[in-house]
């Protein structure tokens, strides 16, 4: 490299007019500096922002603890984050149940499913539902998702959505909504389905926090390394995540009150809505007389990576 610099300097000094020599010298120095920087970068890569450990790399999650009153701004925030009421919204009612009590397939009426959203001003909104994962894996079924700006999961029982969409093309396209910078939201079961570990996923009843049914132990993991519970205030579920996080310390437990949501971007979330959110952090030491979780209020911002 040193010899090449000497030769170039010789050429510049004796074979070019003064003005051209000066221009060539400046160009040579700039190119050499850029090349040296590139080589240094290869040896020691420049620091880049690490991908999030918890939330999606792109897009936003709105995770709501149940109920859907318009009085506390939560559905309005979802619509705003999607870009406004004229954007394309897909509503997924599947958590409400795939079968009737007699075993027959449940039929959802699109007008009923979409009525509340149309009252909120949405002009481009469709329903997406199937009880059959083979259908959910077809190109025809996922067409509404290909240009969707936002997806909403209704409440009910979260294992219904697992049965219909886990491992299918539909789940891939849910993720692609986020990858395009879109929004995924849901309330109650629509909140829990976004987590990694699926609490209350047992088909025998919602009082079972940790199922032994292998197909119902995980959600869609839009929020990785998490276990999400809901209705903690109205159903006195404040402490219900304690045994979950004790058994599975790798998860961050998040309990949500009704009409209360966390808005997740990357590894951070903000509490919005009406009331409280609990954070069960197994890495934090608590006194024997303390509840082993922190309680956040509306307006609080929490970093899931740093646990602060």
pLDDT in tens, 194-220: 999 999 999 999 999 999 999 999 999
Give pTM, 2 decimals: 0.84
pLDDT of residue 122: 98
Residue 8, phi then psi, degrees to nearest 5 = -60, -40
Query: Does position 88 have pLDDT exceeding 70, yes or no?
Result: yes
Least confident span in 96-100, 102-106, 189-193:
102-106
Q: Over the chain, what is the mean pLDDT?
A: 88
Q: What is the pLDDT of residue 48?
A: 67
- Statement: residue 8 has pLDDT above 80: no
Confidence at residue 99, expressed as pLDDT on a 0 to 100 scale: 82
Higher pLDDT, 64 or 102: 64
CB-based contact 153:193 (threshold 8 Å): yes
Q: CA of 68: how far to CAs of 44, 121, 176, 307, in Å?
A: 50, 15, 26, 28
pLDDT digits (tens, 9 = 90+) for 208-267: 999 999 999 999 999 999 999 999 999 999 999 999 999 999 999 999 999 999 999 999
Higher pLDDT residue, 75 or 107? 75
6 pLDDT above the threshold of 50: no
Fold that domain 60-303 belongs to in CATH: Rossmann fold (3.40.50)
To the nearest whole percent, how much of the chain has pLDDT over 70? 84
**What pLDDT shows up at residue 152?**
99
Q: Where in the chain is the domain with CATH 3.40.50.880?
A: 60-303
Q: What mean pLDDT is predicted for residues 50-58?
A: 95
- Please tell me the predicted confidence (pLDDT) of residue 104: 78
Q: Per residue in 11-22, pLDDT tens? A: 344 444 444 444
Pairwise CA distance, residues 254 & 220, whole Å: 16
Angle subtended at Cα 270 by Cα 128 and Cα 152, rounded to the nearest 5 degrees: 5
The pLDDT, as a whole number, for residue 47 is: 52
**What do you get for the CA distance between the two ends of the chain, in Å?**
50
Measured in whole angstroms, the distance separating CA 85 from the mean position of its chain's CA atoms is 21
Whether the per-residue pLDDT at 33 is higher than 80: the answer is no
Alpha carbons 66 and 295: distance in angstroms, whole number: 18
């Amino acid at each position: 490299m040193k010899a090449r610099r000497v030769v170039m300097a010789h050429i510049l000094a004796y074979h070019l007019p003064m003005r051209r020599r000066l221009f060539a010298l400046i160009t040579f120095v700039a190119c050499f500096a850029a090349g040296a920087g590139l080589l240094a970068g290869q040896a020691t890569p420049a620091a880049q922002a690490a991908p999030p450990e918890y939330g999606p790399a792109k897009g936003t999650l709105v995770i709501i603890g149940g109920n859907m009153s318009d009085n506390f701004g939560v559905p309005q925030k979802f619509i705003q984050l999607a870009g406004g009421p004229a954007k394309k919204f897909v509503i997924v009612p599947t958590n409400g149940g795939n079968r009737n009590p007699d075993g027959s397939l449940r039929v959802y009426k699109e007008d009923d499913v979409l009525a509340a959203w149309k009252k909120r001003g949405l002009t481009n909104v469709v329903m997406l539902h199937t009880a059959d994962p083979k259908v959910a894996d077809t190109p025809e079924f996922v067409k509404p998702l290909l240009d969707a700006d936002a997806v909403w999961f209704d409440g009910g029982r979260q294992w219904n959505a697992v049965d219909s969409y886990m491992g299918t093309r539909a789940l891939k396209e849910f993720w692609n909504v986020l990858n395009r910078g879109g929004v995924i939201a849901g309330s109650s079961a629509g909140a829990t389905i976004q987590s990694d570990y699926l609490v209350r996923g047992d088909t025998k009843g919602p009082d079972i926090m940790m199922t032994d049914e292998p197909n119902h132990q995980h959600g869609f993991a839009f929020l990785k390394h998490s276990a999400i519970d809901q209705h903690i205030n109205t159903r006195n579920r404040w402490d219900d995540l304690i045994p979950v996080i004790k058994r599975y310390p790798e998860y961050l437990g998040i309990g949500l009150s009704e009409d209360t949501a966390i808005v997740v971007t990357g590894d951070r979330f903000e509490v919005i809505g009406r009331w409280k959110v609990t954070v069960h952090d197994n890495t934090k030491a608590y006194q024997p007389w303390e509840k082993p979780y922190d309680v956040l209020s509306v307006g609080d911002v929490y970093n899931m990576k740093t646990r602060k």
